[in-house]
Amino acid sequence: MIDFIDISKEATDLLFEIVEHEEEANYWKSRFQNMSNREDTILRGCFKELRENNLVNVLWADNYPYNIAILKDGYLFEEKTRKEIEANLSTFEKGLKGLLQRTKSIKSPINAASIGTNIDEYNKPSNVWINDFEIFYNKYLRDHFLSKRIESILFHRTLSAYNDLVAILESISKDTDYINSKKTTFITEGKAMKDYEILLKKLISKANKDDLNILCYTIESGERPLFGKLEMDGYIKNVHFRGHQYVGLDLTYEGLHYFDKKSDAVPEKTDPKPRKMYDVFLSHASADKIAYVEDLKKSLEILGIEIFYDKDTIEWGDNWKAKIYEGLEKSEFAIIVISENFFGREWTELELKTLLERQNDEGQKLILPILHNITTEQLRDKYPTVADIQAIESGKNSTEQIVLLFAKQLIKRYK
């Protein structure tokens, strides 16, 4: 009876491995050739444990198992144990496992094929997988140490993106500390609830009272799992983890008034703030400042336009990262000067990604691209998403003409 079988975790893992590679003739020969003496000894002991429990039969030759027969109880025990393990997996672990499992039947994408092969159809499974990965990433992985690498891959989405993301997901699947941290998702009473409310009080005190926004909150020990609960309960929204230490978010009306005594009072809705802190955010590569951006900035200033320009806005002693995030969030528009100097720079691409996300969330025009000494073909090769946004070229428009065009956009917005 399989209910009475009691084997070690290592032997159970070996049984899973045997079932998974049952049809691969040379798998075990290669496996044993690449092992240390210690690993070899442990694995042979596990094979012995499986055989003594009548789960497998093994024939050895040339110092490796050349024939492994899984017995009836082996199949039944493997199936029962796998179901028990999967029943105890968190939603995060199930999603992670499911994505990795799907890769076994998906071929890497191609950009050339023999006559008769439809490349779009061939690449469709990997493209769908990348889309599903992006959903999974935004739900669960934004606070992982590899998040910057993932965002860069998703942003550029080159031919190697699928293989790169699979490799990253395999690494994350071995990050046991991170996976264990994701299991702490349900907070109900006692000290956990106290911590939940302590964090909410901190967020209320730090939120901008005009728009309930927190640009950059420093995460303290033990707080990270609490953000998921607060968001799930509707007290915060638009949570964006920035690495492992920082997070940006919006407080909801319910979160702001969580501790109010007058729970029956009907809130009076107020009109949104008519204008943002800045009319425009100037995003550019430092190498283009003197040659182009300074002149553009001066032309904007002549019309009295409020500009977020790093050189003028960030003062001595400021947290420059926090100030840039503030500018990105509190500007009505963003003029992005895209040149060859812009390509591949960490902060210019981070600004561009943040602005694209904001434009998608708000559903209105935000990004105004200027192509500076590059072609639309170069833009499409580097940033295909941005290439779909109407741009103007610096070589065909003077800074004065560009400023007048921007002023028209501003008047339309504030009308």
Q: Which residues are catalytic?
A: 351
Please, what sign has the CA dihedral across residues 302, 305, 311, 314? positive
Please give the structure tokens belonging to residue 133.
């990965």
d(CA 45, CA 10): 9
Please give the structure tokens belonging to residue 31.
């496996």
Q: How many CB atoms lie within 10 A of CB 361?
A: 10
List the beta bridge partners of residue 214: 249
Alpha-carbon Rg for the chain in angstroms = 28
> Using an 8 Å Cβ cutoff, are 70 and 19 in contact?
yes
Reduced to 3 states (helix: H, G, I; strand: E, B; else coil), residue 34 is coil
d(CA 239, CA 99): 23
One-letter amino acid of 280: V
d(CA 215, CA 248): 5
d(CA 310, CA 326): 11
Scanning the structure block, which residue is given the tokens 């907070």? 187
